[in-house]
Amino acid sequence: MSIRPIDVARTDGGPLWVEAVATPSGVEVWWDEPRPHEGGRRCVVRRLPDGTRTDALPQGWNARNRVIEYGGRSWRPLPGGGLVFTNWADQRLYRLDAPAPAAPLPGVPVPLTPEGPARYADLYLPPGRDEVWAVRETDDVRDLVAVPLDGGPVKVIVEAQHFLMNPRLSPDGRHVAWIGWDHPNMPWDGTELCVAPLREDGTAGEYRVVAGGPEESVAQAEWRDGTSLYAVTDPTGWWNVHLVHLDGSPARNLTPMELEFGSAAWKPGMTYLAIADTGELAVVYGTPDHRRLGVLDPETGGLREIGGPATYWSSTVSVAGGKVAGVGATPYTPLEVTLVDLEEGGAWEIVSARKPLPDRDLLPTPEAVTVEGVHAHLYPPVGAQGPGPYVIFVHGGPTGSHPVVLDLEIAYFTSRGIGVAVVNYGGSTGYGRAYRERLRHQWGVVDVQDCAKVARGLVELGRADAAKLAIRGGSAGGWTTVAALVHSDVFAGGVAHYAITDPESWAAETHDFESRYLDGLVGPLPETRERYTERSPLLNAYRTSGPCLMLHGLEDAIVDVSQAERFTAELDKHGKEWALLTYPGEQHGWRREETIVAVLEAELAFYGLIFGMETPEVPPLTLKGRA
| Tens-digit pLDDT profile for residues 81-137 | 999 999 999 999 999 998 766 555 568 999 999 999 999 999 999 999 999 999 999
Nearest to 418 by CA among 547, 623, 608: 608
Residues 6+ apart with CB under 8 A from 318: 18, 19, 20, 271, 274, 324, 325, 326
Task: Give the pairing of strands 464-474 and 493-497.
Answer: parallel
CB 222 within 8 A of CB 168: yes
Whole-number pLDDT of residue 288: 92
Alpha carbon distance 496, 549 (integer Å)? 6
Question: Given CA atoms 311, 317, 323, 327 in this order, what sign does their dihedral have?
Answer: negative
SS3 for 266?
coil
Alpha carbon distance 577, 441 (integer Å)? 31
CB 394 within 8 A of CB 414: no
Q: What angle, rounded to 10 degrees, do the helices at 446-460 and 476-487 form?
A: 70
Q: For the chain, which ranges sit under pLDDT 70?
A: 100-106, 627
Cα dist. 298→230, 283, 313, 572 in Å?
Answer: 9, 11, 21, 61
Whole-number pLDDT of residue 104: 55
Residues 6+ apart with CB under 8 A from 179: 164, 165, 166, 187, 191, 192, 193, 194, 212, 218, 219, 220, 221
Q: What is the pTM of this model?
A: 0.94
Residues 6+ apart with CB under 8 A from 508: none
